[in-house]
Amino acid sequence: MTTEVSKNIHLITVNDRRKQLFENMWPIPNGVSYNCYLINDEKTALLDTVEFGSSAMFEAQMETALNGKKLDYLIINHMEPDHSGEIQNVLARYPDITVVGNDKTFKIFEAYYGVIENKIVIKDGDTLCLGEKTLKFVLTPWVHWPETMMTYDINSATLFSADAFGTFGTLDGCYFDDEMDTVAKYEDEMRRYYSNIVGKYSNMVQKAFAKLAGVEVKAICPLHGPIWRKNPAKVLEMYDKWSRMEGEDGVVVAYASMYGTTAYMADYIARQLAQNGVRNIITHDVSKTHISYLISDIWKYKAVVLGSCAYNTGMFPMMENLTREMQHLGLKCRNLGIFGSYSWNGGGVRNLLTFAESSGWNMVGSVDMAGKPSNEKLQELDALAKAVADSLK
């Protein structure tokens, strides 16, 4: 069984529902799909492969799409092993195949598979004619590996986008956005995928957008998740917004608490935010919520309120981990409030203030509280919540 994206373009996809951690880091409770594509024209071309061993049906799908023809080209848009894992089997099955990639592609390729003679090294903007279809190659380095590129079918205005526009989540029978009543179940997971894996390279995503400016795109075929052909403009808009680091109106309250005081402060601040007119508020205990969900929500909303109890004169370790990861990702343009509590010595808020300075975020206020919250001390939290709410206006 194969599925046509459009005339002569076949989707080959396998669902992975067994793996618990993507890249051995990110929880995937809804699994993940690995997509690749086969073009059956006068010449045939396979665009990427799937993760090694992810499905015994990969070769069967490929043979069905070929319909008795030999495979002429393997086009490698991305060398990451979840998309190149079956390359060795493809080379063994089709020894006369020509591999297509850019210079950086083959540097990684040779490290895994050795030197190959039958290859075409393309440059940005080069084309390859398969018959009716002419493919144009667009180099998009650091979206999110140095060799990453996209392939554009001029004939059908189809963009094979590598990891860009991909998402966590298996394809549960509906492979295309026009087969679903709603794609909402993929939108949050697409942002979690983007913010954790691609987000660090947002400036390179913007450079890729510049290259694609004015190009008609009727369908987007990513390496993970559904094919976007009903409304690809919406997906492009989402990626453009995320890569510009533009947040929506709303606040993420993330806290670390040992004995409940900082947790109480977090809930109090959240309530005061609502009373100050903030309608989108998400509160997370960083010890319970996986960091990938924290990062995704922080990427979504304009304002962040971070709270930490003191721990060995520093931040609580889980909060320290979150701030370190946010520094690594380089997210900008956020409004920041800080709070925390301590018994015998501070440290949580003090170290959060150090993070605030290095992050470049807009600092709107901080509260460091000794002991239990009193009515007088709660007034400081009232002021902090109002300042954060006002920063959204």
- Number of residues assigned to the chain: 393
* pLDDT of res. 54: 66
In the chain, % of residues over pLDDT 70: 99
Which of 240, 296, 8 has the alpha carbon at shortest distance from 134?
A: 8
Q: Is 46 helix (H, G, I), strand (E, B) or coil?
A: strand
Which of 301, 329, 342, 318 has the alpha carbon at shortest distance from 255?
A: 318
Which of 165, 151, 381, 121 has the alpha carbon at shortest distance from 266?
A: 381
Out of 43-57, 70-84, 166-180, least confident range? 43-57
DSSP 307-351: EEEEETTEE-HHHHHHHHHHHHHT--S-EEEEEEEESS---HHHH
Other Cβ atoms less than 10 A from the Cβ of 305: the count is 27
Which pLDDT tens digit goes with each residue over 233-263?
Answer: 999 999 999 999 999 999 999 999 999 999 9
Which pLDDT tens digit goes with each residue over 25-59?
Answer: 999 999 999 999 999 999 999 999 999 876 678 88
CA distance 161 to 217: 11
Q: What pTM was estimated for this model as a whole? A: 0.94
Instruction: List, in order of start, the domains of the chain with CATH numbers.
Output: 3-243 (3.60.15.10), 248-391 (3.40.50.360)
Contact 227, 180 (CB under 8 A): no
DSSP 172-190: -S--BGGGSS--HHHHHHH
